[in-house]
Amino acid sequence: MLPLRCVVGRHGFNFHCYADDTQLYLKFSPSGPPSATLTRLSSCLEEINAWMRQNFLQLNGSKTEAIQTGTPQQLRASPIASVSIFGHSILLSPSITNLGVKFDPRGSGGSGSSSDREVRGSIPVPDYVCNCNVAFVSFVDLSGHCDSCNYVTFYFVITTSCLFSQSILLRWTKGFNCSGVEGRDIVQLLKEAVQRRGDFTIGFVAMVNDTVGTMMSCGYRDQSCEIGLIIGTGTNACYMEEMRNVKRVEGEDGRMCINTEWGGFGDDGTLENIITDINRTIDQTSIKPGVHIFEKMISGMYLGELVRLLLVKLTEQKLLFKGQRSTTLLTAGTFPTKFISEIEEPLSGLENAKRILSSLNVPYDSVDARIVRLVCDTVSSRTARLCAAALATIANRIRVNRGLKHLKTTVAPGMVRLLAPDCDITFILSQDGSGKGAAMVTAVAQRLALQSHLVLQPFCLSVHQLRTISDLLMKDLIKGLGKHSHHKAAVKMLPTFVRSTPDGTEHGDFLALDLGGTNFRVLHVRVLEEEKVVDILGSQTCSISQDIMLGTGEQLFDHIAACLADFISSQNLKEQTLPLGFTFSFPCEQKKIDESILIRWTKGFNCSGVEGRDIVQLLKEAVQRRGDFTIGSVAMVNDTVGTMMSCGYRDQSCEIGLIIGTGTNACYMEEMRNVKRVEGEDGRMCINTEWGGFGDDGTLENIITDIDRTIDQTSIKPGVHIFEKMISGMYLGELVRLLLVKLTEQKLLFKGQRSTTLLTAGTFPTKFISEIEEPLSGLENAKRILSSLNVPYDFVDARIVRLVCDTVSSRSARLCAAALATVANRIRVNRGLKHLKTTVGVDGTVYKKHPNFSDELQAMVRLLAPDCDVTFILSQDGSGKGAAMVTAVAQRLALQSHLLEDSDGDSEEED
């Protein structure tokens, strides 16, 4: 009920909840205008009603009661006779009975001070808050009758004796401050409340701390559970201590559960070295200053306020929101802890941040949203690390107590909503100084400030921009398919002459070649019809040196033929002539299934004498020059088509292939009537989009950054494959490196000191991005990588580098999603469908190995193509198995074609 508490708190009310009844308490001055009081009440109830609707609850205005209390003179002078709630006019009641306590206008029954007037509403929602002694006693009233043992879980600091039947409250925490309870026996107060009711009885009472209850309930399922942990509104832990160490209780044998009450850690000044100014403000403005310091640093009751105060501080320093603070942002309680969880969501976090910042009425931009996310991450990370340090202390104590080298135990995580709901949590002990978070955030923002807004902002693409990009790509797809417009199109839309996806009847043995990067593979593949599987019976990898990549075409294909000969010999296949599928992952114009003209080299290749020539012919000539083996029919396969075909054998609804690795590309099944460069109107053909060339005609000029232009100008083929250079694995690492150099030159990183390594192209490979963005080990990986770059970094630098990596990879995922959504939407419109269900076969190291890329891509596709239900499946060796599948499908279609021709001939003879 913390969210409801924040709603009420924003309007300046106190409130008390029990079961399905909630009481609102509003104090107002007798001399104040009544309209202002009623407006506050109405506004509060309207917001409560909205919150309830969002959470599938209903507020019943017709059952709401109101009472006004005060001195007789105040009541006579009051002009308020009724309140209006959701269209219901509620007359003020002369008295109200609730939970056995009678409230009258003069305040008897303990409803409040007789010097105050209060408006009280009763609302059917559950919660657990009280703020006076009578309210507290009413809160723990029970209904029914039970003479057996009763257990009361009490979430506050207590000392227990007499076999759990006596429990003295030491102090209130978590915002409670009920008078007349501290120092008294909770069990006795409960029994007195039951006696006052007189309508039921209870038997023996056992007091249980919530942390102990958590451990015990989990221990019933897992008997190795010896630690209980709470990290929610408050925080605490308990564990099984050796009795010999519990000096305040008689006995040496066995163990006893100790309720640590670790929330009070630091109350004696122990944590002074890591407490920040923000922590001190939180403590000083709390109900109990100087008490439960550790809890105020890590628990859910305070984390949202920690973040809010940090945002205020950064805004005052003109590092956020253009230095403009809103009244909402300056109001305590307007940033509940749930906002942190929402902002740190992997997929929707940035959108949530924008929504939340809008509700705070601050003028934000995309970089502001990312910095707010960083602030939230820093605060919650400190919580996790401090909690981990405390928990590790307990685990180590248990191990040492028992003289063990290694301890295996179970932690019962109660209310771990904040750290990782519904997750099996692994805790890692902080090695970086868990108390430096707040100061570090200020340093991050100072370094990013206005200059970094200019650096990073162009990489933050809005949904509106992505939709515009999708529209531009759709025009290019149509242009590429046109008979007369094709030669001017940046997106070439190449026919592959693959007329069908697998239908499950394909079978046989095939050779497959795969050339798409610095390694070249040869495979022996068997397609088994009955088992519906594609087996790789053997494979061999050959490297391609830089000299060959930049040499002559004859050198390249002689090297391929040599690798193929070695493989055929090792597999004892010289006596067989097998059909061959050749995955050639470069832009080609396919004339036939066995004729493919290279349009241009990409991915660092620039072999002379190959562009404009038939790849199949060059391969056959190289094989003939050797003369020691033969090959059968050759089917040319783009790697993207191979990916789609390999996945299509498992899922016959797979009609899109996607590559996002060293390069990027996509293919899909287009209606033949739209493929103007190939004869025929019926059926479909797989189109190799070659979307890496999107933007080569200047279409993307509005989103291209200075860093993108540098990448392009220093590449082997300037002005070519602009889209690929913005999103593919070959360039992402270099994009990040150039951004780090720029930030360093502006003295926003590494104290302005650039190393020779950092200034050298290629020293920041794309795999570094994946490592730095790892959820658990990312920051440690960042430090290791920065050490290898020989730059003088600190903890703040590591965080900024992680932010840069996240910005670059996020742009890549969003651009890829915009392009993929365009293809899915085109298939749906082509077929006249209101809703399309299709599958995308995916391959590529960026998609497979980056920790967040696939999730962000899929989420954005759903947003940009809402009428398409798109399933993603990973290709299992698309370039190898896929090449074999294309060859197998080509053979099946050729056989069917021959059978149809024979059938037509027989028919004519019979006629």
Q: Is 191's pLDDT higher than 70?
A: yes
Q: Which of 151, 292, 159 is nearest to 233 (CA)?
A: 292
Give ∠ CA 181-184-185 in degrees, rounded to 5: 115
| Selection from 28-37, 198-207, 213-222, 551-560 with the highest mean pLDDT | 551-560
Once rounded to an integer, what is the mean pLDDT over residues 841-861?
92
Q: What is the mean pLDDT of residues 334-356?
A: 91
* CB atoms inside a 10 Å sphere around CB 28: 21
User: Could you give the CA distance from residue 203 to residue 414 in angstroms, rounded to a whole number?
Assistant: 28
| pLDDT in the model for residue 558 | 94
Whether residue 143 has pLDDT greater than 50: no
Mean per-residue pLDDT over the chain, rounded: 79
DSSP 241: E
The pLDDT of residue 742 is 93
- For 250-272, what is the HEC assignment? CCCCCEEEEECCHHHCCCCCCCC
Q: Name the band, by pLDDT with cuts 50, 70 and 90, for residue 429.
A: very low
Residue 349 pLDDT > 70: yes
Q: Which of 370, 385, 447, 521 is catalytic?
A: 521
Q: Is the pLDDT of residue 664 over 50?
A: yes
Query: Residue 883's closest CA among 537, 650, 642?
Result: 642
Q: Phi first, then psi: what are they for 753, rounded to 5°?
A: -100, 115
Residue 757 confidence (pLDDT): 94
CB neighbours of 613 closer than 8 A, spacing ≥ 6? Answer: 553, 597, 598
CA dist., res. 342 & res. 337, Å (int): 9
- Each residue of 560-602: pLDDT tens digit? 999 999 999 998 888 888 888 888 878 888 888 888 899 888 8
For residues 378 and 867, give the distance between their C-alpha atoms in angstroms, rounded to a whole number.
Answer: 38
Helices 795-830 and 437-456 pack at an angle, to 10 degrees, of 50
- 422-431, 517-526, 740-749: least confident range: 422-431
| Cα 527 to the center of its chain, rounded Å | 39
Residue 299 falls in the annotated catalytic set: no
Q: What is the pLDDT of residue 208?
A: 62
CA 646 distance to own-chain centroid: 29
More confident residue, 480 or 249: 480
Q: Which two tokens stand for residue 231?
A: 């990290």
Q: Can you say whether residue 483 is alpha, beta or left, with left for phi > 0 and alpha for psi between -120 and 50 degrees?
A: alpha
pLDDT tier for residue 389 given thresholds of 50, 70 and 90: confident
Is 812 catalytic? The answer is: no
Q: What are phi and psi of 28, to 5 degrees?
A: -145, 155
Catalytic residue among 639, 712, 806, 877: 639
Q: How far apart are CA 439 and CA 310, in angstroms?
A: 9
The residue annotated as part of the active site, out of 341, 434, 585, 715, is: 585
Helix (H) or strand (E) holding 103: strand 101-103
User: How large is the average pLDDT for residues 827-847?
Assistant: 94
Tell me whether strands 664-671 and 868-874 are parallel, antiparallel or unpaired: unpaired
What is the spatial distance between Cα 673 and Cα 312, in angstroms, rounded to a whole number?
60
Please say whether the beta carbons of 93 and 65 come within 8 A.
yes
CA gap 353, 358 in Å, rounded: 8
Decide if 497 contacts 593 (C-beta within 8 A).
Answer: yes
Cα angle at 552 between 546 and 558, to 5 degrees? 90
Comparing CA positions, the residue from 111, 106, 117 lying closest to residue 37 is 117
Would you say residue 671 has pLDDT above 80? Answer: yes
Note the pLDDT of residue 527: 79
pLDDT tens string 277-299: 999 999 999 888 999 999 999 99
pTM to 2 decimals? 0.59
Q: Say which DSSP state 92 is in.
A: P
- Two tokens, residue 551: 């040499």
Question: What would the pLDDT profile of 26-70 be if each residue is shown by its tens digit?
Answer: 766 655 666 667 777 777 777 777 666 555 456 666 567 777 777
What DSSP state is assigned to residue 187? H
> Which band of pLDDT confidence, cut at 50, 70 and 90, is reported for residue 610?
very high
| pLDDT score for 139 | 34
CB 278 within 8 Å of CB 306: yes
For residues 219 and 206, what is the distance between their CA atoms, to the nearest angstrom?
Answer: 18
CA distance 14 to 130: 9
Strands 588-592 and 519-528, sheet pairing: unpaired
What's 498-517 look like in SS3? CCCCCCCCCCEEEEEEEECC
pLDDT confidence of residue 883: 74
Percent of the chain with pLDDT strictly greater than 90: 38
pLDDT at 268 over 90: yes
Distant-in-sequence, close-in-space partners of 465: CB < 8 Å, separation ≥ 6: 703
CB 629, CB 564: distance < 8 Å: yes
Q: In degrees to the nearest 10, what's the CA dihedral of 192, 194, 199, 204?
A: -110
Q: Is 585 a catalytic residue?
A: yes
pLDDT grade for 399, boundaries at 50, 70 and 90: confident
From CA 278, how far away is CA 296, in angstroms rounded?
11
Percent of the chain at pLDDT > 70 equals 75
pLDDT at 58: 60
d(CA 153, CA 132): 20
Instruction: Output 141 or 283, whichever has higher pLDDT.
Output: 283
